[in-house]
Structure 1
Amino acid sequence: MVEPSVPRLWRAVLPICLICFLYLCSFLLFFCATNSLIYSTVCLLRANESYCAEIDQNKSLIILEESIQKESSQWALYGTLSFAIIACFISPIYGSLSDTKNRKFPIILTICNAILTGLIITIASIYQGTQLCLILYIVANIVNGFGGGTLILISSCFGYATDSCTHKEQHVQMIAIIEASLNIGVIIGYALCTFVFELHTRIWHILLVHVLLLVLALVISLVFLKNRSLSQPSTNNLSQKIIQPIYDIHDLFVGLKQNHLLISFLILLFSLFFYDLFRMGSGSIVYLYLHYMSFDDAHYAAYFSFEQLATCLALILLVLLRRRWKVNDLYLAIMGLCLSLAAPILFAFAQRNKAMIFGAIPSSMFSIYFAVCLRAIIARLVPEKDKGKAFSFVALIQNLDVVMGTIACVEIYQASIDFFPGLVFIFAATTRIIALIFILIQGLCVSRTPELLSIMPTDEIEEPILENQSDDDNNNDDELIHA
């Protein structure tokens, strides 16, 4: 008797959703805490505590505030580069582990590394206001780089979850469900940040909660995730295992070229690269910019809580669009990218107008369509055995975005804060327009390349995750018998 597909899918995706939720919730606590830690430490190195408490609201101190913002952004740049450069080299290794060992192993490694990173930064927070705090912050980012960070975890989770899909058309719904869990984690993380900052508690309290959430995610991954290996265990020695990811990426590209899909894959990567260039590099810049716009830590966390809640609503709409109206993934990606262009423009010209900043949320909420749909398309481009490599290569591209995007955002922000602080958001709009051009080229390729029609289904009846598919499976078996 054939086991129903729905329970099996939910048994696969539910632990992944819980892990992603806990990891992103803890990551946002880490993100809020470290941004505040750097900013307050730089300020305390230059002035006293009462002075730093007033600097965001007392605009007579704007000259010193700009100086502190520039130095804070510089330390944020050092930390990001310390992490991202290492993560760029680590990403292919984790992808290879996902395909050659099992899908579970990279997830566990990433979470363990994040716990160690959290402990180091918690120790750093005890020395808030000293140079040692900033040095330990850099050390924590170096350690975090060897775990690959959030991008590797998300890529590994996508690889694990999509293995359970019996039909490739389910990938969008599966990825959308996981993305929703990520966004709920972000919402709860920012809500916790808002609550803790309102209590005026110490930063190390936030970081301790961050570590505890990661420990819970580790327990779930050890207990509920199954060991899924798609190949025989490797007998290679250590040196061969180190260079194996290079051969894996080469094999991935050769396979795509043989199937006439390499150009399409590269176009998707270039599009994703430009889309994420600002998004991956803007974390600390947005924090500093909103402080410049008279947001305190609680208002900052509240804004992003509302933004992520809106994103969850957009993901629900995405599932409905794919399930009921069968809208093409490529069209959804283009639609989301076009709708998201208004948000950076509103940010750029806000000029301390909080209504304009919150008014950017209806635009920014649809940008998630682009990332979800592109991952789904990439998952359909490659065979099952190469999904780990493909997703790890996407993580590699995004880690390059972290490096290059952070450098670009910090340099633009530092250079323009004296005359137009919003210039960095004009840069954001520009990169998204370039991404839009690439994805339109991809649409042209689909219309002219028959090989791509199979990965962009538009007319067939899709079998959604939330419905029993056993009857359809039996029909497929009958068709094979009579073929």
Structure 2
Amino acid sequence: KRAKNARSEIYLRINIILFQTRRRPTLYALNENKGIWCCPVNVEPILFLVMCGFGLNATNNSLFTYWARCVQIAQDHKELSHNATYTCASITNYNGTLQDDVEKDIANTKIYLQIFGTIPTLIVSPLIGNWSDRNGRKPPLLFSLFGLVLNNFLFLCATLSYETVNVYYWFFVSELLSGMFGGGAATFSTSLAIVTDDCRHKLKPISKTRFRVLLQYPSESVLLRLSQSIGMLSGTLIVSILAVPAIISVERHALKTALSLIALIYAIFFVRETHFPKREDFSYNQFDDNEEVEEEEAPPKLTGIRQFTTYLESVFGVLTVRRPGWTRLCLCVSLAFVFIEFLSFGNSHYSKHIFKIIISDPALLLLLVKRLPFAWNDKLFSYYSLTRTVLSSFGMVLCPILLTFSHWLGKDSLLIIAALASSAATSFLTAFATKTEHIFYSKTSVILYSFSCLFSISACLFGIVMGGMQPAYRSFLPRMVAKEETARLLTSVSIIIAFSPILSSLIFNNIFNATLTWWPGFAFFVSGCFQATVFIGQIIIHMLMRPQWKLDKQLRARRQDETDSRDDT
């Protein structure tokens, strides 16, 4: 009997080793070799490349759209068609009928572009999130990256043919295809799930459920923030260096397409799988032929609408699971606040879509600063975007690092509160701005005047603190759920944020059109009111969660003491 048990145990161990070997991806040994990499690297290069592309996209797409539509609309006016290029080059020098037509055209069409891109994303994102939790992270990542390549290629086609083909044709097809592949939501939620898995694997067993997954010292967290910050900064820097009239933007779109293609190739060969549902659900009698296992009748396979609703129930079921204390209520309310926050952020900040990671289209701000009394040209807008990105990227890395030296309860929630206050203040400042200096003060000011030194320094702090909201949210929400629920939670957040641009465009673009002649900044005032509401709500959530955080801290300390005493024994 003992010999039989020994053989069974040996057989079990051999199968486990073979199972682990079969699950290793291509070039696994190369990626695991620490002599090649100075630190563990997995999905971070993809985030860097993708963020470079979005840095190019954030500024360049708005400038190109404004230029292309101006030329096309000017060609429809008989008195301007003979010299449309010159007219559009000097359009910011006066608030004329052509400028009003261009800005209303862009603001109105943006609503339908959001719908074309958001509805497919809402359908596909739950499927990709469920796919990621059930079958691993890498296949959904490759799927979404392929859609990103197609999206960037269509934008490149728009720049090559804008003189003969309406750019909106390319934009609508691009938004539709992007949504069918999950959009940026799938790319970044899957990447965040991979980074979260890596961070959890690096933590000690007693602290795997701790909340400091993305505010800890593991190298994956640092690399994540650095890759995003440097990538966003590099993309915006390229736009500012090549700040030429938007008529020459083919090189930028070609570079953006190339970056997404390189990211896809890297993911195929170098990204490691971090989630193995079959291994984690391993059963010991799985490999024992002598163990009788009762076969359960498989449930009937769902099809059609029922299958889709089942997927939605699986994704949003994370919000209905019973949790200790006020956790479940605070989780649901936090997602509602995320929706309201991004509803307002989509028009005033670089934060539309996906957990504040993909920088949004600053079209509404561009429409504001193109008018008098600001009359910005493309180069000034590029420099403004670069300066704001520098501060935001610096805060994205600095704020979480500083918080690791503190022992406050709910430090990520405190960072969110501070960032929301800064964001609301910048929206109000933008709404009441009457000079170019006011716009720079509100978000990026690095200029010190004799009577406004303190104000400028405060504005710099606003930009830095707002950059810390991204890693704070990535820590605050995932720590409320278990590891196997992370991808579905991030997918739920992605769906909520992907839906908010529709209402955001309907509300703020229509407000901008209605108040264009008497207060163009009124839309930013409404945005500030929304953000102030979320600021108050986050304070209430922080107060409700403090007892639970305190209890968790005591339990962790007790487990640590028990472990230390056991080791001493």
TM-score normalised over the length of structure 1: 0.86
Residue-by-residue CA offset, 1:237-256 (whole Å, 9 max, x unaligned): 76576444223125423324
Q: Is residue 2:253 matched to residue 1:171? A: no
For 1:274 and 1:288, the matched residues in 2 are separated by 23
Paired with 1:267 and 1:225, the residues of 2 have a C-alpha distance of 35
Cα displacement (A) at 1:258: 7.4
- The CA distance in 1 between the partners of 2:502 and 2:536, in whole Å, is 23
Cα distance in 1 for residues equivalent to 2:274 and 2:307 = 19
Alpha-carbon offset, residue 26 of structure 1: 0.9
Return closer, same or farther for 1:81/1:458 CA change in 2, 3 Å cut-off. Answer: farther
Aligned to 1:426: 525
- Deviation of 1:50 (Å): 1.1
CA distance in 2, matches of 1:176, 1:274: 29
Q: Does the CA-based 8 Å contact 1:41-1:130 persist in structure 2? A: no
1:358 maps to 2:440:
yes
Task: Say yes or no: does 1:80 pair with 2:114.
Answer: yes
More deviation in 111-120 or 221-230?
221-230
Shift, 1:194, TM fit: 1.9
Matches within 5 A, 1:201-280: 202-232=248-278, 239=304, 242-257=308-323, 261-280=327-346
- Equivalent residues of 2:121, 2:182 under 8 A apart: yes
Q: Is the 8 A contact 1:186 1:305 kept in 2?
A: no
Residue-by-residue CA offset, 1:199-225 (whole Å, 9 max, x unaligned): 776222211111100011112212221
Rounded Cα–Cα distance in structure 1 between residues aligned with 2:549 and 2:162: 54
- Give the equivalent residue in structure 1 for 2:431: 348
Q: Does 1:296 align with 2:377?
A: yes
* Aligned with 1:198 (options 233, 244, 248): 244
TM-score (norm 2): 0.74
Instruction: Report the CA distance shift for 1:12/1:107 in structure 2 as closer, same or farther (over 3 A).
Output: farther
Name whichever structure is richer in helix by fraction: 1
Moved more, 404-413 or 171-180: 171-180
The residue type equivalent to 1:172 in the other structure is L
1:52 aligns with 2:88: yes
Q: CA RMSD in A?
A: 3.1
Counterpart residue type for residue 19 of structure 1: I
Per the alignment, residue 316 of structure 1 pairs with 397
> Given the alignment, which residue of 82, 89, 113 partners 2:147?
113
1:96 aligns with 2:195: no
User: What amino acid sits opposite 2:463 in the alignment?
Assistant: S
| Displacement of 1:371 | 3.6
Which residue identity does 1:104 align to in structure 2? K
Seen in structure 2, the aligned counterparts of structure 1 residues 281 and 90 have a Cα distance that, compared at 3 Å, is farther
Shift of the 82–199 alpha-carbon distance from structure 1 to 2, 3 Å rule, reads closer
Letter in 2 for 1:36: L
1:468 corresponding residue in structure 2: none
Structure 2, unpaired ranges of 5+: 1-31, 75-83, 282-297, 349-361, 445-459
Alignment match, 2:488: 389
Distance 2:38 2:379 in 1: 37
Q: Tell me, in whole angstroms, the C-alpha distance in 1 between the residues paired with 2:263 and 2:566.
A: 43
**2-side partners of 1:357 and 1:118: how far apart?**
30
- Measure how far apart 1:68 and its partner are: 1.1
Alignment gaps of 5+ in structure 1 = 462-471
Task: Note if contact 1:110-1:152 (Cα within 8 Å) is conserved in structure 2.
Answer: yes
* Of 255-264 and 230-239, the range deviating more from structure 2: 230-239
TM-superposed CA distance for 1:257, in Å, is: 5.0
**Which residue in the other structure is 2:13 paired with?**
none
Task: Judge conservation of contact 1:344–1:426 (CA < 8 Å) in 2.
Answer: yes
Q: Which has the higher contact order (CA 8 A, sep 6+)?
A: 1
| Count, aligned residues | 460
Q: Flag the structure with larger Rg.
A: 2
2:48 corresponds in structure 1 to 21
User: Quick one: percent identity of the two aligned structures?
Assistant: 18
Q: Distance in 2 between matches of 1:199 and 1:391?
A: 39
Query: Residues 472-483 of structure 1: matches in 2 within 5 Å?
Result: 478-479=564-565
Structure-1 residue corresponding to 2:544: 445
* Offset at residue 430 of structure 1 (A): 0.8
Answer yes or no: is 1:34 the counterpart of 2:70: no
Instruction: After superposition, give the CA deviation of every residue in 1:228-279 in whole Å (9 maximum; x if it has no partner).
Output: 3342399967657644422312542332457763201112112222221122
Q: 490, 510, 513: which one pairs with 1:414? A: 513
